[in-house]
Amino acid sequence: MTQAGRRVLVTGGGSGIGLAIARAFAAAGDAVTITGRRADVLEDAASAHGLTATLADVTDEGAVQALFETPFDVVVANAGMGKAAKVVDTDLELWNRTLAVNLTGTFLTFRAAVAGMQDGGRLIAIASTQALKGGANVAAYAASKHGVLGLVRSLAQEVARKGITCNAICPGFTETEMAEAAVSGLMTRFGLDREAATAKVVSNNPMGRMIAPGEVAAAVLWLASPGAASVNGHALSLSGGEI
């Protein structure tokens, strides 16, 4: 595998962090495929940034398997979801759905990817600071991301001798639709204005700000570079010192 012209897959690549990652790889000269469940979002992103778009739900085993008829050199498991709820208010449907998308989706993606991946391949999961700690009102999300990190650390041991690495990036609150939902929820729940709600959301970040999607993309590109060839089974925190 050469550094330029690689085949790259980014799940959940139509917006937010996923799109930032896809654009960064494309700018580096790689052939990038993005997947997701929203056809309009994927098509808009693909046409605007020179990407290939494929509809796929990461919880659908068959759909995920079909993505890998031709192997990829770099696979970024970014697709995810999160909804705030206390444990007593988390019904089984929300719990199962969160684990299905965040954890099982990453498992299915990586399992299919490894089968045809060659020496020098890169598996990268977009986890969260919640993979490294717990948090009130996000038990389902935190549990799923803890699971992702366990998967990454275990798979890293299995693929190391093949010249493949498997790592996780753990961002704090990032400027995405999920963060916007958190801000809006606080505004509604506590009657806060946007500035106060945003400050509350980022209060755990010593820098007092959200992470930019481009910062996550830059970290992904580094993990996919030759210089990171010995980084394996690692959880890279992008959180301004929160973790």
Does residue 31 contact residue 7 with C-beta atoms inside 8 Å?
yes
**CA atoms of 81 and 115, how far apart (whole Å):** 26
User: Can you point out the beta strands (E) in 29-112?
Assistant: 31-36, 52-55, 74-77
Residue type, 132: L
Which residues make Cβ contacts (< 8 Å) with residue 95, sequence separation at least 6? 140
- The residue with tokens 């919640």 is 130
Helix axes 105-116, 139-159, angle to 10 degrees: 10
Which residues are marked as active site? 141
- The residue with tokens 């007092």 is 208
What is the C-alpha R_g of the chain? 17
Longest alpha-carbon distance in the chain: 54
